[in-house]
Amino acid sequence: MAGRTLMMHGNSACAEGAILAGCRFFAGYPITPSSEIAEYLSARLPAMGGTFIQMEDEIASIGAVIGASIGGVKAMTATSGPGFSLMQENIGFAAMAEIPCVVVNVQRGGPSTGLPTLPSQMDVMQSRWGAHGEHPIIVLTPSSASETLFLTIRAFNLAEKYRTPVILLTDEITAHLTEKVTIPEPESIQIIDREKPTVPPEEYLPYQMVESDIPPMANFGEGYRYHITGLAHDETGFPTNDSVKIDEQLRRLNRKIERYHDEIVELDTYWHEDMEIAVVCYGAPFRSALNAVRRARKDGTKAGILKLKTIWPFPDKELRELLQDVEKIVVPELNLGQVAFLLKCIAGDSAPIRKVNKINGEPITPDEIFEAIKEER
């Protein structure tokens, strides 16, 4: 399959990206609109010596993924809104215990069962704040099938490098549109594996305060025995009530993502050099934004696009720089303005924000974004 250009929808591209990244374990429970990821991997993983398990529910799914990762296997699950909610406690556990894993959330409308077959981007805030406590998270968001494949690979690399759960936050439109995807040759892909300890088992500290803030991770079954808990713990992994050690570990936990912000955050720019109106978008609405901005520029409007590929950590520094000379900001989202709210915190009153929102399961059209741009001229 490598080197070939195929017609694939986003969910299949996600599954193929996972395999290319080295994923060899998937546990999940069917839920629209993510089920094709599980279906694809149920055939591909066993053929490659991997493991596919259909679990009894989403809570068990993320638990199995965490267990597989502790055993040294790159592991993932895929779900949608209600299932994502059920996974939150274990996502918090994985963050606290610093266990690499990938969670794909193909968004659909909510609350509750919501709109099972229709698109949404309502889980932006949940992806960051769904699990309680002060912990960091990395969230990537693709806008095409090809980008889904490459961001899935990147999700695994980030999870392994920073010892953290990574969320791929896609949507029903991106997941189900079929388009050209060129499968890269394996040797052209950068693959990152977790750093292993170099000390003997009796000297190993799983949560050691190291210079990089990312302690090496030993895999169970390789001669290392250590304690894993969701409780506040010291360098050995055992629970502690020592306030100094708790503060030290939690600050390191958050710092290991904050200090590498520039390496993690990605966004694409289009016509940003002279833009007076910025369209900030992510996921499926990018497609409509691209059409609308092209039309606006032909019409003489200096519009540009800032497309987010990383939502968390939020690219505040990058956006602040790119938006400093912008007069207006247009934000199309399949929610009521979750990223627009974050942009308001950055832009303040310097640039008015025009929201273009839909929450009824219908896509945002190019005409709607074009009209929003025209209104702001």
* φ, ψ (nearest 5 deg) of residue 303: -105, 155
Taking CA atoms, 123 is separated from 16, 105, 140, 241, 342, in Å, by 24, 9, 12, 34, 14
**pLDDT tier, 145 (very low <50, low <70, confident <90, very high otherwise):** very high
Q: 267 exposed, middle or buried (CB, 10 Å; 0-12, 13-18, 19+)?
A: middle
Q: Which helix (H) or strand (E) holds 126?
A: helix 124-129
Give pTM, 2 decimals. 0.96
- Say whether pLDDT at 377 is over 90: no
Domains of the chain are 5-188 (3.40.50.970), 269-375 (3.40.50.920)
Convert the pLDDT of each residue in 286-344 to its tens digit: 999 999 999 999 999 999 999 999 999 999 999 999 999 999 999 999 999 999 999 99
The sign of the dihedral angle between the CA atoms of 315, 320, 325, 329 is positive
- pLDDT value at residue 330: 97
Q: What is the biggest distance separating any 2 CA atoms in the chain, rounded to whole angstroms?
A: 69
Listed residue (167, 364, 137, 120) closest to 261, CA to CA: 137
